[in-house]
Amino acid sequence: MVDRLCQEYGDRIEVAWKAFELRPEGVSLPAPDNPTRRRRWETSVLPMAAERGLVMKLPPVAPRTRLAFQAVELAGDHSRRQAMHRATFEAFFRDGRDIGRIDVLAS
C-alpha cells in the first residue's frame, strides 16, 4: 500500500514511520491460538487485506516488537529503512515468522 502511494505521488509525499510497541515488556503476550484473536482477523483484518490486494495470514506468534523497531532504525542508518520495513512486514504478516527474534531480523 505504501509502495503504491509512493509510486503514485513520488516526491510529493514523505512517509514517516513511527514506532509503536503494542506489547512492551511487562504486558502479557496474547495466546496465538486465542479464538477471539482468530475471529477478529477473519472478520476484519483479512477481508480488508484482500480488498487491497495484500497477501496476509494470521501470524502464529504474537511477538514483542522492540528488536524489530531497533533493526529498522539500524537499517535507516544505512539508507535501507523502507526495505527493512517491507522485509519485517512480509516476515510477520506473510510468512508468520517471529520478528521479536534476532535471527529472524538478521535474515
The per-residue pLDDT for range 69-78, each reduced to its tens digit, is 999 999 999 9
Domain count, the chain: 1
Tell whether 32 is covered by a domain.
no
pLDDT of residue 69: 92
Query: What's the domain range around 82?
Result: 2-8+38-106
What digits encode the pLDDT tens for the residues 45-91? 999 999 988 889 898 988 889 999 999 999 999 999 889 999 999 99
How high is the mean pLDDT of the chain?
89
Q: What is the pTM of this model?
A: 0.80
pLDDT at 67: 93
Rounded to a whole number, what is the largest CA-CA distance in the chain? Answer: 43
Q: What is the pLDDT of residue 13?
A: 87
Residue 91 covered by a domain: yes
DSSP assignment string, the chain: -HHHHHHHHGGG---------SS-TTSPPPPTT-HHHHHHIIIIIHHHHHHTT------S-----HHHHHHHHHHHTTT-HHHHHHHHHIIIIIT---TTSHHHHH-
Is residue 15 in a domain? no
